[in-house]
Structure 1
Amino acid sequence: MTITPPALSVFEALESEVRSYCRGWPAVFDRAQGSHMFDEDGHTYLDFFAGAGSLNYGHNNPVLKRALIDYIERDGVTHGLDMSTTAKRAFLESFQNNILRPRDLPYKVMFPGPTGTNAVEAALKLARKVKGRESIVSFTNAFHGMSLGSLAVTGNAFKRAGAGIPLVHGTPMPFDNYFDGTIPDFLWFERLLEDQGSGLNQPAAVIVETVQGEGGINVARPEWLRALAELCERQDMLLIVDDIQMGCGRTGAFFSFEESGITPDIVTVSKSISGYGMPMSLALFKPELDVWEPGEHNGTFRGNNPAFVTAAATLDTYWADGQMEKQTLARGEQVERALRAICEEQSGTHFRGRGLVWGLEFEDKPRASAVCKRAFELGLLVETSGPESEVVKLLPALTISPDDLDEGLRTLARAVRETA
């Protein structure tokens, strides 16, 4: 289809220059359903972005929408701080019955605030409180959020520079395969920990993504994650897994670390935990780490009761029988086949991913942005990731139909061919 950019005068006149996604997708969106978005001019777009992973179950999922409408119509509590409410109880019971107990996970649940970076800040704060140390180790190309504590453990130079002040108490280490297999895993990290002259303060914790989304869809091997967990245990460091984008089934299992068989000390969850795209986040931690004093960490919007309602409905609908994981892995195989075909046809391209998060990397780095631009013109929403925006990132809804997934993959292949 041919898309004519709309007049965006009010956005350009009043909205800050910080806006970003709208620059790559110059349309005024009006409606959304399932895996499709519709602009005010009647154009239809297939969504392989899913709210940056916040819409794992599609736009306006009818089951979740019904639960939300019913709750609002009966004047259910909307804003509740951390008061006990029936909506919160229903979520906690569903989370315990559908997620924690079946996986034998002992976690306590904390509601730190509405966004992922709130959960990361709470996790870092708790780790420092428990261990009585300041330093946190993160990894190259990590992304953990845009507030100051989260930026200190984020790798991207452009995002870090926005802080405007020194970002301290964070130390980066090489992520899995950073040296293309030429250096043994954790050789540098463990040497620094054991050398009294290294200058590395004993860390309170290590924070890691099992799949680095913003960093370029870098997938950590299960054996690397197991070795990291063992290192943390040997060296008296807490292990924090940031599952904000890769959790809630994005890689197949509900938690992205399940495949590796580890049990992190702390887990951060957000994005698709509400199921409906509403702000909600969790910090999960082992019971012995629950050393908070009442009110020691709080926030006005940590009790988003409408999000509790849709979250409980999501878990009861999609996570009670194990079918969602099987479906996601099957859809992932469909994506993998299509990306392999693209890479066989187009030199200078590489792909990687798990479940329903995939990246198509271009050696000619600017080409990734050109592919996203052409895909938009053809009616497909995809974004770039990676330190130089060299990767086209695919995040379709977990509920996408095989036909819609195939259509989007064909459109992507066309966009790649037409930008060669």
Structure 2
Amino acid sequence: MALTPSQIDIVKSTAVVLKDHGETITRIFYANMLAAHPELKNLFSLRNQATGAQQAALGASVLAYASYIDDLPRLTHAVERIAHKHASLFVRPEQYAIVGEHLVGAFAQVLGDALTPDVADAWKAAYAQLAAVFIAREAQLHATPGAWHDWRDFTIVRKEDVSDGVVSFYLAPADHAPLPAFLPGQYVSLQIPIPELAGLLQSRQYSLSAAPGEPGAYRVTVKLEPETAGADPADVKSLAAGSIAGIVGNRLHARYRVGDTVQLSAPHGEFVFDASKMAPDAHIVLLSAGVGATPLLSMLDAIQANPAPVGATPRPVTWAHAARHANAVCYGQHVRQAAADANADVTAKVFLSNVGDTDREGVDYDYKGRFDVAKLVADKILPLEKPEAEYFLCGPKDWMIQVRDDLKANSVNEDKIHLELFSTGDV
């Protein structure tokens, strides 16, 4: 049932309250919901719960929904991104009712008498409307040809060092059934048990780092996270409290070998290179930092795997990557080889924060220092003269936002800038 005009006005009027009390509300929401439904702990990151990232992100999402409840098309991209993530975690329709109950309950606990029956009813209706949107969209995603509807066992068939602290895992389905195609840039959710915590399950999203078409296996590339200062990774209390960073990725590095089993979702994600929606000669710009290179590598390899017809101009690709040092450049040699292909039109540039004595300019790096759009502009590396060019950014969130702003300052249309965000705490 659609919200009434009065209910829309009520929800919008609570935006100020949510801005002031949002994190308190979401902190109480998670505590109450997970106490009543401990099975839902498998859906949420212990680390993000501990740092407050989960609560802060949910608060921001609820605030955005309240603010634009009368202009929902403004939220289309966010809803699509969240729906893909929910589908990758196999969030079930009945779980939305649990979330709604405890979200409104947290409102009541924090706001007290200010949550009148009319306000409570308006928020129940608003949440029901949002839940219906997600449930319908996620059902469509699960109906994608080849998709599966619960966690699926995969076997590690190959483990490959990529760069300093970065490892690729080749994962084949344990049932040997065919794998569906995916769009370059998509990710899978990968789930493992945490035996020390009574079999609690934890999952993370990892981009598929090879082009579609890898026979019989998916490839994900995983970064080793620095140890958390003052926390013992083997301490059960620290694990349970979410004090340990990299609880999934670091275990994959240290404990998982060829022949071991992990669980995967089908590919999801809206950060994609879809050649069918672009002109065949549209310039593609790939900008990455650190392990953010992984989805862009899938895009580059997909373009290379589908060359232009004989006599046609190859699609131009520009890649610029930022790394701490030469040994940390993710698949750097692979990208350099693509740039050296006489039949391709690939330009590759590398920024190194720390240049070693033996590092060679033009071979190991092109620019000293942090990633700088201004340097790329000055050297005419970016196709600013081509308004149809598409820009794909992947790296730390703050880095992506800064690069996006720098591109916009150089007259790149925001609609042409695509960011990869693995957000937490979404409704």
TM-score range, shorter chain: under 0.3
Ranked by relative contact order (alpha carbons within 8 Å, sequence separation 6 or more), the top structure is 1
TM-score (norm 2): 0.26
- Which structure shows the higher helix fraction? 2
Work out which of the two has the higher radius of gyration on C-alpha atoms and give 1 or 2.
2
TM-score (norm 1): 0.27
